[in-house]
Amino acid sequence: CWSLLRAAWLLQGGLAPELEGRELVVEGRVASLPGRSEQGVVFLFEPRRVWLDGRPVTPPRRIRLGWYGARTAELVPGERWRLRVRLKRPHGLANPGGFDYERWLFREGIGATGHVRESRDNRRLGRAPAGIDLLRHELRRRIDAALGDSPWTGVITALAIGDRHAISPAQWQVLRATGTNHLVAISGLHIGLLATAGFFLFRWLAALVGALSGSSLPAQRVAGAGAVLFALGYAALAGFAIPTLRALVMVAVCVAGIQAGRRLSATALLSVAAIAVLVLDPTAVLSPGFWLSFGAVVLIFYGTLCRRGMPGRLRSLVRLQLLVGIGLLPLLAAFFGQHPLIAPLANLIAVPWVSLTTVPLTLLGALGSFAAPEHADLLPRLAAATLDLLWPVLERLAVLPAGQWQPRMIAGGELIAAVTGTALLLAPAGIPLRHLGVIFLLPLALPAGPSLPEGGFRLTLLDVGQGLSAVVRTRSHLLVYDTGPRHGGGFDAGAAVLAPFLRARGERRIDLLLLSHGDSDHAGGARSLLAGFPVGEVVTAPDPRIAWAGGKRCRAGMEWRWDGVRLRVIHPGTGRWHGNDASCVLLIEGGGHRLLLSGDIERRAERDLVARLGAGLRAEVLVSPHHGSLSSSSVAFANRVLPAWVLHPAGYRNRFGFPKSKVVARWRVRGAKQLVTGQAGAIEMDFLPQFPVVPRCWREDNPRIWRARAGPGGCSAPL
């Protein structure tokens, strides 16, 4: 009941539909540490009042804003501002295996997203009051001043205050590949270390005061209070993230048990912590961090249950790392579709090193920046030096060829079976039939679904925002046609959409990567995709912007025959082509069906195709040229293709207004039903012999209370 009430409260704080896309003036307070990048800042804002054309309207509860450009102000958490903004309702990309941005917005209580417009209305109204957010901001500023351009500024900041915005993509890649990314989150490990330090420090102080005053203080009670105080302070600096909250509650429960003279079992301790976290935030169950943090503690307790003759310290550490590494396999497969096999070794090296050197130096440096500001840079520099020593080791481990395993993503019954299997395998000696746990892990090795028949193929047109990426799977081959956009803010569709999708489907290799042309909305994700997946053959348009990819140049007449399916390049032909008209156009035939992938061709290329192929352009399904722009989908081209379905790869509320209403009308009068990825999410179609082609839309097939419903352009309401 509490979860439902909490969900209803979060959903009611959204932006009214009639305010979407309108310019608004908002007054309120900066509600988070701004995340900084080369383009500007991103921050949370809590509006108190909102005006539309001078008329007050109901404000959303919380909004996430980007403020870009050279004139970006230095924002401080807690400050009051008046801003001119343009907002939209929560909406994210909807793809199998991809990050659910809308779920994250829901968890954070964000009712709208948008950006600050350049205006004279933008001005600071009041300074920030004293508080924990202001302290975090000041600590970040001092760490920046102490470390300057050091590559470890982002990591040290993350360890000090839980702000990970400044960690570079390359550093994240190393951390993920070695399974050590938990070290840059202020986790239960760090809270536990600080609580232990607080316990012994306060116990020593209690004994010292007692000896000096001649009185006896209850040292254990004073030490327990010190442990809770230290843990509470560090958790507050981290913004009370789930792992820190869980550890804080466990410390508090342990201390309460000590104060009450009771000894709590591990099960009771963990249960109380879970209940307390969920009472404070029922939406915590939507975070992978909740399951991974509690799962790791459960595994530690489970791994020490009924064990006799425990080995020495080093062997115990090795055993513990293997236990957690194997035990978390089902959850990592469910959430991320990958598992770093090198993680136990990497953590065996990194956890003690970071915990005993980097973290203490970072925290002492944070305290010292206030106590002795003239020497404030010494300890942060020493903390950075410890990372200088550790990082080369992690980089070598990250590139080991056998260091990664990428099982396909699992859910439901498969996840339950995998958890059961690992529980059996890790059970104490003497449990009968425990080796049969391997059987329950078989779903991780099985393909994602039934294989396609000879002559059949499947199209998945991914939702990559304003861009294009399509995946075509035959019985035993895989084509990726374009890789979606890459934005200056760090978004890369290759890493954020394509790679998770391929892992979710259990794909290990790309047989053909075809880049239709060099625009960033089509080839922006290519570098990260090539870095993460082996590719058999690369074909690119004759565009110097993607010459770095190598491979063959796309030209009419190129052909592949896979499992009874024919893939044929029909453009560019002879002559000089440039810009959008040089796009590589692919016609796929199989099972009595035809699919036309047209890239960004415009009217000149369409005229050439009509003149050369005529009725040979007929296709049952068309991925629309140039996202449905007015410069494409000419009348002559439409009369020749005559598709039953037109799929528009266009982003939600994109700034170009694609697909254009005139283009939609042109296809509609020819009887074509039309879908838009920005509304439908990923669109999937099976082209099977003797079966009609029926689309499936990810957004509609996977409804969630936080997910925006598909509007016109979805499977249930095609244009």
CA 281 to CA 666: how far, in whole Å? Answer: 50
Highest mean pLDDT: which of 46-50, 117-121, 365-369? 46-50
Cβ count within 10 A of residue 558: 16
pLDDT at 239: 78
Q: Does the pLDDT value for residue 132 go beyond 60?
A: yes
When comparing pLDDT for 212 and 718, which is higher? 718
Q: What is the pLDDT of residues 152-184, one digit of tens each?
A: 999 999 988 888 888 888 898 899 888 888 888
pTM above 0.95?
no
pLDDT at 281: 86
Q: Which of 456, 378, 405, 461 is nearest to 683 (CA)?
A: 461
pLDDT at 449: 63
Q: What is the pLDDT of residues 198-251, one digit of tens each?
A: 888 888 888 887 776 666 667 778 888 899 999 998 888 887 876 787 788 878
> CA-CA distances (angstroms) from residue 695 to 88, 612, 683?
28, 30, 7
pLDDT at 437: 85
Q: Which of 661, 662, 613 is nearest to 637 (CA)?
A: 613
Residues in the chain, total: 719
Per-residue confidence band for 337, with pLDDT thresholds at 50, 70 and 90: confident
> CA-CA distances (angstroms) from residue 261 to 220, 250, 264?
11, 16, 10
Task: List, in sequence order, every beta strand (DSSP E) within 132-246.
Answer: none
Please answer whether residues 591 and 456 qualify as being in contact, where contact means their C-beta atoms are separated by less than 8 angstroms: yes
Per-residue confidence band for 649, with pLDDT thresholds at 50, 70 and 90: very high
When comparing pLDDT for 189 and 718, which is higher? 718
Q: What are phi and psi of 92, to 5 degrees?
A: -135, 180
Query: The tokens of 674 are what?
Result: 């039309």
Per-residue confidence band for 71, with pLDDT thresholds at 50, 70 and 90: low
The pLDDT mean for the chain works out to 88
